[in-house]
Amino acid sequence: MVPALSGCWDRREINDMAFVTAVAADRTEDGKYRVTVEVPLPGKISSVGNLGGGGGASGKKAYFIDSTVGDTFRQANADEQRAMSRQLYFAHMRVFVFGEELARDDIAQAIDVMARVPQNRMTTYLLVSDGPGADVLNTESTMEKTPAEFLRELASQSERHPRTVKRVTEALLAEGQDPYMPVVSVIETAPGDDARKQSYVKLTGIAVFRGPKMVGMLKGREADGVLWALGEIKRPTVTVAAPGGSGHVSVIVTRYRTRVAMHREGDRVSCRITVKAMGTLAENTSPYKYEETENLPKLEREASREIADEIASGMTALRELRADPVGLCNRVYRLYPSLWHARKSDWRESLYAHIPVQVHVELDLRNSGNATSPVAVPEEDLKS
């Protein structure tokens, strides 16, 4: 009796595969998709690393980037494959970057491809570019060997739970909730010498979606406020002015918890966002002592007020965009299903736009570091 042997008829050698680690997608003027892929070159990574990391120089980059245009993503990938001596393999894709125009148009098709094809990972990080996504992949990183690795690290540091294909898909399918993603921008340094100018990629805010279409980008205080409300802001620093305008004080929040509660009175719904945080005094450029006097409670109140103002500004911006990434209406759907079904057809205007939001923040400062008073300030100039 001859045993049945499967053999290696479907094997794929590593040397015959091109591992795609990052993809950027843009919308062209004629309505097609431009897909840009990054493939690391293993043979050059070690030599580039010995030169100090980064993308390399003099044509010795540790990665290869190709870009093609197609009516669909898969058609563009098939066209890219015709220029590759190795088989494109997407199972190691770490980052996917949506170009601004594509994000404003519709991300549904890209999400469909990533969720449908088993080779893709649902844990791939998602970002939105402030401009063409291809520009982000074409910007060399001085701190990592490839742009893909730099973007992956950047995305992982953007918030407590970075946006992945899985999380964005869940938000798209949820009742009364919208997705959001971090925004990255290509920034050009200006050291004074044009020959020394360099470009780098930086996190600059969040992209807010209404369904599968981006409706705006929030930056600065508004973006931080939304992340506070979501409980996703990572390592936040709060800076407030000292009494009398004689300097500033910075507080690092070491731990916090955000709670979003909904309340109903008849057909009216309200929201209360509560943040309880602990922090440490990180910098004091004023002559005021906060460690042993009544100034400490004042500082806690000022820092709490600053956080509350950020959250309020972020929630106001979301209401103006009629987008709900915080999921207020999703909570209405789960807590008050009869009210939700009555307003479901136009919930953004009839329900979400009329939900008042109250914000309450309690910040507890636990220590002031190694210094008990402002450093380098004479004792006679200290104020209590």
Give, as one character, the DSSP assignment of residue 383.
Answer: B
Residue with the bigger pLDDT between 372 and 234: it is 234
**What pLDDT is stored for residue 159 in this prediction?**
94
Pairing of strands 33-40, 63-70: antiparallel
In this prediction, residue 288 carries a pLDDT of 74
Alpha-carbon dihedral 69, 71, 73, 79, rounded to 10 degrees: -50
CA–CA separation, 348 vs 346, rounded Å? 6
Strand bridging mode 180-188 / 248-265: unpaired
Q: How confident is the model at residue 371 (pLDDT cuts 50, 70, 90)?
A: low
- Cα torsion 374, 379, 383, 384 to 10°: value is 90
Work out the angle at residue 16's Cα, subtended by the Cα atoms of residues 10 and 18, and round it to the nearest 5 degrees: 115
358 DSSP β-pair partners: 272
Considering only CA atoms, which of 383, 333, 373 is closest in space to residue 355?
333
- pLDDT at 56 (0 to 100): 38
Token look-up 């002559």 returns 287
Q: What is the SS3 assignment for 32? A: coil
Tokens at residue 191, please?
């050291």
Count other Cβ atoms within 10 Å, centred on residue 57.
10
Partners of 18 in the β-ladder:
88
**pLDDT tens profile 23-46:** 999 999 999 999 999 999 887 766
Alpha carbon separation from 127 to 118, 137, 152, 169, 317 (Å, rounded) = 21, 12, 10, 14, 20
Query: In terms of pTM, does the model score above 0.95?
Result: no
Pairing mode, if any, of strands 87-89 and 17-19? parallel
Helix axes 165-173, 108-116, angle to 10 degrees: 120
Alpha-carbon span 123 to 156, nearest angstrom: 11
- Residue 180 amino acid letter: Y
Task: Please state which CATH number belongs to domain 220-384.
Answer: 3.30.300.210
Residue 293: closest CA among 379, 203, 373: 373
> CB-based contacts of 341: which residues, under 8 Å, 6+ apart?
none
CA distance 323 to 334: 18
Indicate the domain borders of the chain: 13-218, 220-384
Cβ neighbors of 227 (< 8 A, separation 6 or more) are 159, 206, 233, 314
User: pLDDT class for 306, splitting at 50, 70, 90?
Assistant: very high
Contact 263, 269 (CB under 8 A): yes
Task: Report CA Rg, the chain.
Answer: 25
What is the rounded CA–CA span in Å between residue 230 and residue 29? 35
Q: Provide the pLDDT for residue 166.
A: 95
Round to whole Å and give the CA distance between 363 and 351: 32
Helix (H) or strand (E) holding 195: none
Q: How does pLDDT run across 243-288, given as a tens digit for each residue?
A: 766 788 899 999 999 999 999 998 899 999 999 999 998 888 877 7
**Angstrom distance (rounded) from CA 306 to CA 275:** 12
pLDDT in tens, 120-152: 899 999 999 999 999 999 998 888 889 999 999
